Chain A
Amino acid sequence: MNRIVERFTRLAREGQKGFIVYIGSGDPNLEATRQLALAFDKLGVDVLELGVPFSDPLADGLVNQLAAQRGLESGTTPPKVLEVVSAIRKESQIPIVLYIYFNLIHRCGIERFIRAAAQAGVDGMLVLDLPPEESDSYEALMRQAGLCNIYLVAPTTPDDRIELIVQRGAGFIYYVSREGVTGMQTKVADTIAQMTAKIRAHTKLPIAVGFGISTPEQAKTVAASGEAVVVGSAIVNQIAQHGKAPDLIQRVSEFVKPLVQAVKQQ
Chain B
Amino acid sequence: MSSIASDPMPDARGHFGPYGGRYVPETLMHPLQELETEYLRAQQDPEFQREFEYYLKDFCGRPTPLYFAERLTRELGGAKVYLKREDLLHTGAHKINNCIGQILLARRMGKSRIIAETGAGQHGVATATVAAMFGLKCVVYMGAVDCERQALNVLRMKMLGAEVVPVKAGQQTLKEAINEAMRDWVTNVRTTHYILGTVYGAHPYPLMVRNFQRVIGDEARRQILEKEGRLPDLLVACVGGGSNAMGLFYPFLQDESVNMVGVEAGGEGIAAGKHAARFQGGSIGVLQGTRSFLLQDEFGQVQLTHSVSAGLDYAAVGPEHAWLRDLKRVEYTYATDDQALKAFQELARLEGIIPALESAHAVAEVMRRAPTLAKDRVIIINLSGRGDKDVAQAANFIKL
Q: Are A104 and B300 in contact (CB under 8 A)?
A: yes
Give A153-192 interface residues, CB cut-off 8 Å to B. Answer: 153-158, 161, 165, 176, 179-181
Smallest beta-carbon distance A45→chain B, Å: 24
Give B272-316 interface residues, CB cut-off 8 Å to A. Answer: 283-289, 291, 294, 296, 298-302
Is B145 positioned at the interface, with any CB of A under 8 Å from its CB? no
Q: Are A102 and B179 in contact (CB under 8 A)?
A: no
Is B321 positioned at the interface, with any CB of A under 8 Å from its CB? no
Q: Are B286 and A55 in contact (CB under 8 A)?
A: no
Is A10 positioned at the interface, with any CB of B under 8 Å from its CB? no
**21 contacts across the A-B interface (CB closer than 8 A):** A54-B301, A56-B287, A58-B182, A104-B300, A105-B300, A107-B285, A107-B296, A131-B22, A131-B29, A133-B22, A133-B29, A134-B21, A134-B23, A152-B25, A157-B26, A161-B29, A165-B26, A176-B27, A179-B190, A180-B186, A181-B183
Q: Are B302 and A179 in contact (CB under 8 A)?
A: no
CA distance A202 to B349 in the complex (A): 69
Give B300-336 interface residues, CB cut-off 8 Å to A. Answer: 300-302
Is B187 positioned at the interface, with any CB of A under 8 Å from its CB? yes
Is B170 positioned at the interface, with any CB of A under 8 Å from its CB? yes
Shortest Cβ distance from A174 into B: residue: B26
Pick from B27, B289, B300, B302: contact of A154, CB under 8 Å: B27
User: Within 8 Å CB of B25, what residues of A?
Assistant: 58-59, 128-129, 152, 154, 176
Shortest Cβ distance from A65 into B: residue: B169
Shortest Cβ distance from A152 into B: residue: B26
User: Within 8 Å CB of B30, what residues of A?
Assistant: 154, 156-158, 161
User: Within 8 Å CB of A26, what residues of B?
Assistant: none
A46-86, CB under 8 A of B: which get 1 and which 0? 00000000111111010001000000100001110000000
Q: Are B179 and A156 in contact (CB under 8 A)?
A: no
CA distance A181 to B182 in the complex (A): 9
Is B372 positioned at the interface, with any CB of A under 8 Å from its CB? no
User: Within 8 Å CB of B170, what residues of A?
Assistant: 55-56
Smallest beta-carbon distance A165→chain B, Å: 8
User: Within 8 Å CB of A2, what residues of B?
Assistant: none
User: Within 8 Å CB of A161, what residues of B?
Assistant: 29-30
Q: Are A156 and B189 in contact (CB under 8 A)?
A: yes
Smallest beta-carbon distance B194→chain A, Å: 12
Q: Are B299 and A154 in contact (CB under 8 A)?
A: no
Is A92 positioned at the interface, with any CB of B under 8 Å from its CB? no
Q: Are A78 and B299 in contact (CB under 8 A)?
A: yes
**A-B pairs with lowest CB-CB distance, top 10:** A107-B300, A180-B187, A154-B27, A152-B26, A104-B300, A55-B301, A59-B25, A103-B300, A58-B179, A154-B26
Given known A129-B24, A129-B25, A131-B26, contact A181–B187 (CB-CB < 8 A): yes
Q: Are B299 and A77 in contact (CB under 8 A)?
A: yes
User: Within 8 Å CB of A72, what residues of B?
Assistant: 301
Pick from A57, A77, A108, A131: contact of B24, CB under 8 Å: A131
User: Within 8 Å CB of B299, what residues of A?
Assistant: 77-79, 104, 107-108
Range class of the A interface residue count: 35 or more
Smallest beta-carbon distance A138→chain B, Å: 11
User: Within 8 Å CB of A11, what residues of B?
Assistant: none
CA distance A79 to B300 in the complex (A): 12
User: Within 8 Å CB of A56, what residues of B?
Assistant: 170, 175, 179, 287-288, 302
Q: A61-B183, A181-B187 are in contact. List 7 more A-B contacts (CB 8 A).
A: A103-B285, A107-B285, A129-B286, A133-B13, A153-B26, A154-B26, A157-B27
User: Within 8 Å CB of A180, what residues of B?
Assistant: 27, 183, 186-187
Q: Are B289 and A155 in contact (CB under 8 A)?
A: no
CA distance A241 to B20 in the complex (A): 40
Is A151 positioned at the interface, with any CB of B under 8 Å from its CB? yes
Is B31 positioned at the interface, with any CB of A under 8 Å from its CB? yes
Smallest beta-carbon distance B301→chain A, Å: 4
CA distance A54 to B189 in the complex (A): 24
CA distance A133 to B298 in the complex (A): 26
Smallest beta-carbon distance A73→chain B, Å: 12
Is B188 positioned at the interface, with any CB of A under 8 Å from its CB? yes
CA distance A128 to B286 in the complex (A): 12
Smallest beta-carbon distance B300→chain A, Å: 3
Given known A56-B288, A106-B285, A133-B13, contact A181–B186 (CB-CB < 8 A): yes
Shortest Cβ distance from B304 into A: residue: A55
Smallest beta-carbon distance A109→chain B, Å: 11
Give A80-137 interface residues, CB cut-off 8 Å to B. Answer: 102-108, 128-131, 133-134
CA distance A139 to B285 in the complex (A): 19
CA distance A156 to B31 in the complex (A): 8
User: Within 8 Å CB of B175, what residues of A?
Assistant: 56
Smallest beta-carbon distance A90→chain B, Å: 25
User: Within 8 Å CB of A158, what residues of B?
Assistant: 30
Smallest beta-carbon distance A130→chain B, Å: 6
CA distance A61 to B169 in the complex (A): 12
CA distance A151 to B27 in the complex (A): 12
User: Within 8 Å CB of B189, what residues of A?
Assistant: 156, 179
